[in-house]
């Protein structure tokens, strides 16, 4: 993976997140550019990997997009934030979806029930008043669930293209954390308001993006 090993990259990434945590007084200050730095650093790290060009580009741009979403997270422009998050998940999904050889049916059922439940809880009474925003949010949640289903199927049944079981597990875990982030964001805006939600979203996002980076690094 270029001239830097996983341990060094993890140390650099952790150092960036730690410095941001200190400089923003525990992620409390309104400094959006700093919040976007960790995923942008992962995008730069990705270009130093030895994976094939298409996967490298998809992975790198997905990190840039999530950096943009974190930049906008506190700006109260939810449609743009969600659009960037959806774009990021789509690109990352495209980077590994060809590895799937079988669908994990039990996981598909669980995700379908979860998707229907959170959609009903958050949006059942809102579609008539804000149809466009609800549509964006529904598409985002659907893409995240499809990404989890694909990653889970690759981990459970094995990859069609590689035997990097550790990478497959890291990807599955990272995308599950992404679903938690998206759920917190939706519940905070349209369900029960959660204390310190943006603080929690940022920390979980930094963790999930690191897992997704190392997943593709190990796999490709």
Mean pLDDT on 167-184: 95
- CA torsion 13-214-43-64 (nearest 10°) is -100
Sign of CA dihedral 95, 100, 104, 105: positive
pLDDT in tens, 10-27: 899 999 999 999 988 888
pTM (predicted TM-score): 0.92
Residue 103 pLDDT greater than 70, yes or no:
yes
CB proximity list for 126: less than 8 A, separation 6 or greater: 134, 190
Instruction: Show me where the domains of the chain are located.
Output: 6-219
Residue 145 pLDDT greater than 70, yes or no:
yes
Q: Which of 74-78, 147-151, 198-202 has the highest mean pLDDT?
A: 147-151
Percent of the chain residues topping a pLDDT of 70: 97
User: In the predicted model, what is the mean pLDDT of the chain?
Assistant: 90
CB proximity list for 29: less than 8 A, separation 6 or greater: 23
């Amino acid at each position: 993976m270029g001239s830097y090993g996983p341990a060094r990259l993890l140390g650099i990434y952790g150092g960036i997140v730690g410095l941001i945590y200190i400089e923003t007084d525990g992620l409390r200050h309104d400094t959006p550019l700093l919040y976007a730095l960790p995923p942008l650093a992962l995008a730069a790290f990705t270009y130093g990997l030895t994976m094939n060009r298409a996967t490298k580009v998809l992975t790198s741009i997905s990190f840039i997009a999530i950096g943009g979403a974190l930049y906008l997270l506190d700006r109260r422009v939810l449609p743009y934030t969600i659009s960037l998050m959806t774009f990021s998940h789509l690109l990352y999904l495209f980077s590994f979806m060809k590895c799937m050889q079988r669908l994990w049916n039990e996981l598909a059922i669980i995700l379908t029930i979860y998707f229907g439940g959170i959609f009903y809880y958050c949006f059942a009474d809102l579609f008539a008043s804000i149809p466009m925003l609800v549509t964006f949010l529904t598409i985002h949640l659907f893409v995240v669930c499809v990404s989890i289903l694909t990653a889970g199927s690759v981990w459970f049944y094995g990859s069609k293209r590689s035997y990097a079981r550790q990478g497959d597990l890291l990807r599955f875990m990272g995308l599950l954390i992404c679903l938690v982030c998206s759920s917190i964001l939706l519940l905070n805006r349209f369900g029960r308001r959660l204390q310190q939600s943006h603080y929690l979203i940022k920390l979980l996002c930094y963790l999930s993006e690191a897992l997704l980076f190392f997943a593709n690094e190990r796999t490709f």
